[in-house]
Structure 1
Amino acid sequence: MWMYLGLLAALFLGLHNLCKKHAVQGNEVFPVLLGTLLSGFLLFIPFFIGSKYNPEYFKEIGFYITELPWQTHGFIFIKSMIMAASWILAYAALKHLPLTIVTPIRSAGPFFTFIGAILIYNEQPNSFQWIGFFLIIFSVLLYSRIGKKEGIIFKKNKWIFAIIGATFLGASSGLYDKFLIQNLTLNPQTLQFWFCFYTILILLVILSITWFPYAEKRKSFKFRWTIIAVGILLQTADYFYFKALQDPDALIMLLSAIKRSQILIAVVVGGLIFKEKNKRKKLVPLFGIMLGVFLILYS
């Protein structure tokens, strides 16, 4: 069951990536990110209020937000700091790079998760899983060669380093999620509500320095419907992902790889919508990544 939930998370993440590319075009990264988090946070406000005034009903429907000790709040705040840094780097890179370059690099995230799962959680890979993960990494390297034809020199482009940093931090957060869900026994909606809350606070501090004081920046901001869509799609994807992690048999290394199947939507559909270059050539490493994901699922 947890694998099917992982595939649902991948579906909503793929749609989320398409909307995110549209949301950041011509916009400052931080206010867009804040808008997406606010829209996602508003989804959970009714559950939070309902859990206070009608706890039995919300427990029955599976959307009860539990009360937490301060120590657990601290653990969630750490996740918020990790993901805030990852999103800031990822949104900035997405604004300056083609979606068909950003998404495949992000697909290397399972490799970092794979190593962490072995070292931290003692998850044992088999030969097919080894082949699958290295196939994903090799395919990402092929994308670097295609990127040069679009004027993107990987060694000299700071946005490439930004997306690599975002990928590493995102993978670290994925490993941390397993600790939060399984060791601290947090349910998805409780984790998502407080995670959004603390991340919004972090972004408000950043924006109070970099955006709010500058009238020109505020006037140039363009609100788009995709800002709201990004927040809703992301929280929906995270909900299915956290539900999958609640299964004690779920392997974080496999879940991380399954989520990468979102690349099919981002590269094929995104390439058509945003008219990006070299779409056919990018299908070759895309196939390599998908084959790597298949080997992991097959194993």
Structure 2
Amino acid sequence: MWYTLALLSSLTFGLGGFMMKVSSTKRGSTAHLLWGLYLSGTIGFLVWVLSTDSWVINVEVVLAGFVIGFGTAMGNLLFMHALEHGPASLTSPVVNSNVVFTIGLSVTLYGEQLSYFEWLGVSMLVLAVLMLPIDPNEKLRIRNLRWYMLVLTATFLFFLRNGGLKVTEELHLPNAMILLISYFFALLWFSIEIFRRKNKNLTRTVKRTGVYWGLGSGIFSFFGMQIYVIAVSNGPASIVAPIFSTNSLVVALLSIWIFRERISLLQTISLFVLFLGLILTRL
């Protein structure tokens, strides 16, 4: 069951990521996009917590919520800044490599055991994630050293989110409540960000586009993260995490289908590696 949930979490979160890409394609405001994402996500987790009677407030839960919220909010912000200093074809795979840290955490700290085929499958999933964003037609040139600091910091911040949820699960803390606090924290962060930029010359259409697609993205983000939490609580994070990280492949496939984006030979190989890796993790 956990394996199916892990696949579903990747698909759902990937749909949310695709909506972010649509907003970017339509030139929507990034700040308003993320504000809308965390608004609908916060509402989703609030409804979930209240409907499942899992409202818990204590020091541990609030602290974990702030740490994970800081990771997701600042991770997204630094990722967007990194794209201003380096190519997306390098920025995306490096940031997605945070899954390696989650695997290491699960195996070394919590003693999760993987079979030979599972190790091979996990390795292929990680390889597929690293390969897919690489487009040989894009110049892989780093513009300045600031890119390295932004990308490496963003990678660590996203690990705070994904790896942090593994830690809180092992501590038997309510992850739905923690995600509610983390999304609310991110919502406040981008509310302040929008207020700071209120004097910038952004048209109403640009703002509306960002908010609308952000709201839709937040709904799928909520479902994706909640399903991921359930999958991690029932299965090994050393397998669930790399399956979840393949959500970027969902974005790529939808982009190829909807926007008729061309796919390179290397990207085709990465898709084959992905499907083979998924098969091996079930042997």
TM (norm. structure 2) is 0.81
Aligned to 1:82: 71
Matched, 1:131 2:132: no
Letter in 2 for 1:43: G
Q: SS in structure 2 opposite 1:12? A: helix
Distance 1:275 1:156 in 2: 32
Distance 1:278 1:241 in 2: 28
Letter in 2 for 1:18: F
Q: Percent identity?
A: 21
Q: How does 1:216-227 map to 2 (within 5 A)?
A: 216-217=201-202, 219=204, 221-224=206-209, 225-227=212-214
Aligned to 1:16: 16
Aligned to 2:281: 296
Distance 2:265 2:258 in 1: 14
Distance 2:272 2:39 in 1: 36
Matched, 1:173 2:161: yes
**Cα displacement (A) at 1:36:** 0.8
Distance 1:253 1:91 in 2: 28
Aligned mate of 1:235, from 195, 202, 222: 222
Letter in 2 for 1:181: E
On the 8 A contact 1:30/1:203 being kept in 2, the answer is yes
Aligned to 1:55: none
Aligned to 2:241: 256
Distance 1:154 1:94 in 2: 10
Distance 1:65 1:80 in 2: 19
Q: How does 1:1-299 map to 2 (within 5 A)?
A: 1-25=1-25, 26-46=27-47, 51=50, 58=51, 63-92=52-81, 107-139=96-128, 142=131, 146-153=134-141, 162=150, 165-188=153-176, 190-209=177-196, 211-212=197-198, 214-217=199-202, 219=204, 221-224=206-209, 225-247=212-234, 250-298=235-283
**Cα displacement (A) at 1:255:** 0.7
Distance 2:174 2:217 in 1: 24
Distance 1:158 1:131 in 2: 35
Kindly tell me: are residues 97 and 31 of structure 1, through their superposed partners in 2, closer, same or farther at Cα, counting changes over 3 Å?
farther
Number of residues of Structure 1 aligned to a counterpart in Structure 2:
280
CA RMSD in angstroms comes to: 3.3
Letter in 2 for 1:193: L
Distance 1:288 1:155 in 2: 31
Distance 2:69 2:130 in 1: 30
Distance 2:55 2:182 in 1: 14
**Cα displacement (A) at 1:181:** 2.7
Q: Which moved more, 1:8-17 or 1:150-159?
A: 150-159
Kindly tell me: are residues 274 and 286 of structure 1, through their superposed partners in 2, closer, same or farther at Cα, counting changes over 3 Å?
same
On the 8 A contact 1:105/1:140 being kept in 2, the answer is no
Distance 2:280 2:169 in 1: 27
**Structure 1 stretches lacking a partner, 5+ long:** 52-57
Aligned to 1:54: none
TM (norm. structure 1) is 0.78
Distance 1:278 1:90 in 2: 23
Distance 1:131 1:269 in 2: 27
